[in-house]
Amino acid sequence: MTPSSVVERAAEAPLSRRRFFALSAACAACAACGSTAPPAGKDSALVDGNGGEDAEDVVPDDDGGCEAAEGALGPDWQAVPLVSYPGLAEVGGSANVDLGGRRLVLGQPTAGCFSAVDRACTHQGCDVAFDGGRFVCPCHGAAFGLGGEVLSGPTPIPLGAYPAALRGEIVWVQLSGA
């Protein structure tokens, strides 16, 4: 069954747990090809703010906790399926992803809360890594908060940060966020 046939068949039925997972699988297949999230609208069950039965959209707040995401996820959000990045599925886990020409690192500081920042350190371009509740550069020890802010130098320049929200088994990242 192709991803498009799954979506076509699923569009005919009300949003059930089975339909949600079928649509998630179709979105994962599209994400693997580099497609973006479908635009938000009344018929867009995965991105209209109502999601699946158990879905709750959360984004990191300034204290490293999570707060509810505001509004619907629009077309500038891109999918990162957890099935494709198993390390990201656990609290404290992370994944390096390339989305829309950007090199990002995503981390899950607390259950269901995700943070996404540019992967290149603003000091000399080394790849930063997620370390619990912060991002750390292994080259010279710079540390950055969940929102990309500088916690310790040598760089005074923050990392670009992008809103990220969990919807079902997919982390959505808003690339226009930085």
b/e burial code for range 108-121 (CB count within 10 A of at least 16 → b): bbbeebbbbbbbbb
Q: Is the pTM of this model over 0.75?
A: no
143 neighbors 130 (Cβ within 8 angstroms): no
The candidate with the shortest Cα–Cα distance to 118, out of 133, 97, 104, 138, is 104
| Amino acid 66: pLDDT | 61
pLDDT averaged per 10 residues, the chain (length 178): 42 48 47 40 32 44 53 79 93 94 95 94 93 92 95 93 92 81
Q: What gap in Å lies between CA 73 and CA 28, rounded to an integer?
A: 16
Q: What gap in Å lies between CA 7 and CA 146, rounded to an integer?
A: 34
3-state secondary structure of 89: helix
Q: What gap in Å lies between CA 67 and CA 28, rounded to an integer?
A: 25
Amino acid at 48: D
Q: What gap in Å lies between CA 32 and CA 2, rounded to an integer?
A: 14
Q: Say what the alpha-carbon torsion angle 71, 72, 77, 81 is, to the nearest 10 degrees.
A: 110
136 neighbors 129 (Cβ within 8 angstroms): yes
| Amino acid 28: pLDDT | 46
| Amino acid 166: pLDDT | 92
Classify residue 63 as exposed, middle or buried by CB count within 10 Å of its CB (0-12, 13-18, 19+): exposed
144: tokens are 């950055």
3-state secondary structure of 174: strand
